[in-house]
Amino acid sequence: MKIGFAGAGRMTAAMARGWAGAQGGPDTMVFCDLERERAAALAEELSGAVADDLASLATEVDLVVLGVKPAALEAAAAELAPAQPKAILSMLAATKLEQLEAALPGVPIVRVMPNQPVEVRRGVLVYALGSEVGEETAGGVSQLLSRLGTAIELDEERIDAAMAVMACSPAYVAMVAEILTEAGVREGLDPELAARFVAETLAGTGELLAERDAESVRLSVAPPGGATEAGLEALERAELQAAFDAAVEASLARVR
């Protein structure tokens, strides 16, 4: 399969890097961006190609990954529509299938929301199918997304809620990692060693959470009267849950 990328931003790059290292990934990747140098750099890194414009991109590939800013949808659609893309995978935030299909009538469109770990093929991707998507296209896109991690079809009205807890959360987890690393350094640990401790602990905890529910993991680490219980009590006093609730609500407010 040939995949074209309309836009060469951070998430586009993450998906492309994930596919480049995946078994069963695309045979060819073609990049197009208003900043040609950015597309060229990504193409060089991943042994891909560069398209001069979106119209030529659409005619060369089997699937166009639409990764432009939402405000640029009309301009991108004006270039893409005459070329009649075979299928489009839209990553546009806060842009519903109804809007996409109005801009690109007759084109099979899948809306996807990925998160950053797609770059290492451990991402979570939720997606919804447009009205023009047939079984063959749906199956092909689902298989392709699964190469990047866990791909879950979702009712479109749930995508924003999913975004708030899976697309944004890698940044929250990274912030937690930064804070814990800094705390370790203050207590005398070497910065690189502290960062490694935290990163490996988070990775291992993620593996545990794939096997066990979060409450059982928390309770197994925090027996009564221990150091972890004291730390959890301090987090409760600092209203950690309220902080995360506020983060989710703020993210949703931005896209609704």
Q: Are 6 and 65 in contact (CB under 8 A)?
A: yes
Q: How far is CA 187 from the centre of its chain?
A: 35
Per-position DSSP letters for 142-187, written without gaps between them: HHHHHTTEEEEE--GGGHHHHIIIIISHHHHHHHHHHHHHHHHHHT
Q: Which two tokens stand for residue 105?
A: 């009538």
pLDDT of the residue at 134: 97
Nearest-CA neighbor of 66 among 11, 118, 106? 11
Q: What pLDDT sits at residue 27?
A: 93
What is the predicted pLDDT for the residue at 255? 87
pLDDT in tens, the chain (256 residues): 999 999 999 999 999 999 999 998 999 999 999 999 999 999 999 999 999 999 999 999 999 999 999 999 999 999 999 999 999 999 999 999 999 999 999 999 999 999 999 999 999 999 999 999 999 999 999 999 999 999 999 999 999 999 999 999 999 999 999 999 999 999 999 999 999 999 999 999 999 999 999 999 999 999 999 999 999 999 999 999 999 999 999 999 998 8
Residue 218 amino acid letter: R
Contacts with 131 (C-beta within 8 Å, 6 or more apart), sequence order: 97, 101
The b-or-e profile of 102-126 (16+ CB within 10 A means b, else e) is: ebbeebbbbbbbbbbbbbebebbbb
| pLDDT value at residue 256 | 81
* Structural domains for the chain: 2-156 (3.40.50.720), 167-255 (1.10.3730.10)
Q: Which residue has 């797609």 as its token pair?
A: 118
**Residue for token pair 């690393």:** 181
